[in-house]
Structure 1
């Protein structure tokens, strides 16, 4: 069982990854209500200073919702990335 802390703490739990290739599927179980989610393609590189403009662009308000980033320190939300002072690639968002 694989768990991603940002999704587990916020809205859902990652149960398992199906398939061994790069385009495998991830099975997710929702723990709460999810109003909207989206995937950002292509995966844009953003630095720590660019997190705030992306948050304003993708989320309905400053304290509502999360942007999911993949960084050198692992997959995390935008708040944790800002605390750890790391940038990365934008995977998607949910609120």
Structure 2
């Protein structure tokens, strides 16, 4: 059994992007993974995704849009205040305004850009650029 399903899906996306594949099947279809994929879709890192209910847990069919330079899961999931977001942006992203951090907040899963606009913090989940 897998311990970190979000990490498995993010690594599948990264490996498929490096190999030049445009479509992958990732499992299981958890709600948190779906919300992270929705944020990635909003910022055009993936073209689309859908849930395939074949069995218990289900699967995601993910269609990649462009080549992703790098993506990964942030462990441990650091709690971050809005004032400290810039520190983690400089740690995980290569340049300013290049890539996104994905975090979970009291308002749901969102990017660092949306969290900064709302003035809220949360726990870091992943980065994509």
Normalized per residue, the structure richer in strand is: 1
Q: How many residues align?
A: 90
Gaps spanning 5+ residues in structure 2: where?
A: 1-33
Aligned to 2:98: 64
> Bigger radius of gyration, 1 or 2?
2
Gaps spanning 5+ residues in structure 1: where?
A: none
- Which runs of 4 or more aligned residues in structure 1 lie more than 3 Å from their structure 2 counterparts after TM superposition? 2-5, 25-28
Aligned-residue Cα RMSD (Å) equals 2.2
Alignment partners' CA distance in 1, 2:52 and 2:123: 20
Equivalent residue for 1:84, pick from 118, 121, 126: 118
1:26–1:63 distance in 2 versus 1, CA, 3 Å: same
Residue 82 of structure 1 aligns to a residue whose secondary structure is: helix
Which structure is higher in RCO with an 8 Å CA cutoff and minimum separation 6? 1
Length-normalised TM-score, structure 1: 0.81
